[in-house]
């Protein structure tokens, strides 16, 4: 996640301005996604905690930096519990990244929050209104499982290269580039040449890249049974949007994503709920 413009004094001042309005203080990476987290947290906790304000900090480094400041200032154990949420990204798999551990800090178990929106049931209910057909027929048309398996499999090699690029700090553009450049506009399928072109770039810097790919894949599979969690959620949502458009009537990506957010399978975030409960 790229770091955005950030002011220590600005964030802390905003927090103290709103101090006391929440029964749970939530700090996240992404500026502009407060409404997403509000929707998710209401589903996760119901009315148990009043959350009137969510504090976006503009990137993972800023979230961790702010956590450290609360610890140093003795504010982390105040009456109102505080939870700091960051993306999983590739952190667990890169030797040049230190994963910070603290009871108030939660790493998402998947790449980012968008991964949790990719869901068959929610997708079928969205497309039911577009196709105006029964659930079974919608499922036959959109072939969600087939799309997901093919897309994850085709993106796997690209994202393993992204891991290698980041671990070796090669400076080659990777996951931060527009996701649309990877997919065919009319189908949402991965463009095969993307991997080949990227590997050639990496090979110029690391001639043993094929061996590094094998090592990175083995490292990942020690903790995971499939590659879904490795793939950035915005890429999955982009492919899903293009795939669904090819199945029927047109619609905006924003409308699809909002429906998926509202119909998230909240049980996938039970780990976040359990962590908060330990702080109360």
In angstroms, the CA 65 to CA 100 distance is: 11
Token pair in block for residue 218:
């083995």
| Residue 57: alpha-carbon gap to chain centroid | 16
pLDDT interval class at 81 (50, 70, 90): very high
Helix, strand, coil percentages for the chain (3-state, nearest 5)? 55, 5, 35
In angstroms, the CA 236 to CA 247 distance is: 17
Q: What is the pLDDT of residue 5?
A: 43
Q: What is the pLDDT of residue 250?
A: 87
Q: pLDDT tens across 113-127, in order? A: 999 999 999 999 999
Q: What is the pLDDT of residue 248?
A: 77
pLDDT interval class at 75 (50, 70, 90): confident
Average pLDDT of the residues of the chain: 92
- pLDDT value at 77 more than 90: no
Q: What is the pLDDT of residue 18?
A: 63
Q: What is the pLDDT of residue 17?
A: 61
Q: What is the pLDDT of residue 39?
A: 95
Of residues 13 and 75, more confidence is placed in 75
Contacts of 5 (CB under 8 A, 6+ apart): 58
Is the pTM value of this prediction over 0.85?
A: yes
Q: pLDDT tens across 212-231, in order? A: 999 999 999 999 999 999 99
Classified as helix, coil or strand, 85 is strand
Do residues 84 and 106 touch, judged by C-beta distance below 8 A?
Answer: yes
Token pair in block for residue 79:
């009456």
For the chain, percent of residues with pLDDT exceeding 70: 93
- pLDDT value at 6 more than 50: no
Do residues 102 and 67 touch, judged by C-beta distance below 8 A?
Answer: yes
Radius of gyration of the chain, Cα coordinates, nearest whole angstrom? 20
Measured CA to CA in angstroms, residue 253 lies from 37, 132, 221, 250 at distances of 19, 19, 32, 9
Q: What is the pLDDT of residue 22?
A: 86
- pLDDT value at 9 more than 70: no
In angstroms, the CA 211 to CA 59 distance is: 32
Best CA proximity match to 64, nearest among 3, 111, 116, 15: 3
Q: pLDDT tens across 154-183, in order? A: 999 999 999 999 999 999 999 999 999 999
- pLDDT value at 209 more than 60: yes
Q: What is the pLDDT of residue 220?
A: 96
């Amino acid at each position: 996640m790229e770091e955005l413009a950030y002011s220590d004094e600005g964030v802390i001042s905003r927090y103290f301005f709103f101090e006391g309005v929440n029964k749970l203080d939530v700090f996240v990476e992404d500026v502009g996604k407060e409404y997403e987290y509000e929707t998710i947290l209401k589903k996760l906790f119901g009315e148990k905690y009043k959350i009137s304000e969510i504090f976006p900090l503009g990137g993972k480094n800023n979230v961790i930096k702010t956590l450290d400041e609360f610890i140093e200032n003795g504010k982390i154990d105040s009456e109102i519990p505080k939870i700091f949420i960051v993306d999983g990204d590739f952190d667990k798999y890169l030797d040049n990244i230190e994963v910070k551990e603290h009871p108030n800090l939660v790493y998402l178990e998947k790449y980012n929050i968008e991964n949790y929106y990719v869901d068959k049931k929610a997708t079928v209910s969205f497309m039911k209104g577009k196709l105006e057909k029964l659930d079974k027929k919608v499922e036959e048309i959109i072939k969600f499982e087939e799309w997901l398996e093919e897309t994850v499999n085709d993106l796997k090699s690209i994202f393993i290269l992204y891991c290698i690029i980041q671990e070796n700090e090669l400076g080659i553009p990777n996951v931060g580039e527009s996701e649309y450049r990877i997919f065919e506009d009319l189908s949402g399928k991965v463009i095969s040449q993307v991997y080949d072109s990227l590997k050639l770039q990496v090979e110029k810097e690391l001639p043993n890249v094929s061996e590094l790919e094998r090592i990175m894949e083995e490292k990942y599979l020690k903790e995971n049974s499939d590659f879904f969690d490795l793939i950035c959620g915005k890429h999955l949502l982009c492919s899903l949007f293009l795939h669904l458009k090819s199945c029927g009537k047109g619609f905006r990506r924003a409308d699809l994503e909002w429906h998926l957010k509202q119909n998230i399978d909240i049980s996938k975030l039970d780990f976040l709920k359990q962590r908060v409960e330990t702080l109360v």
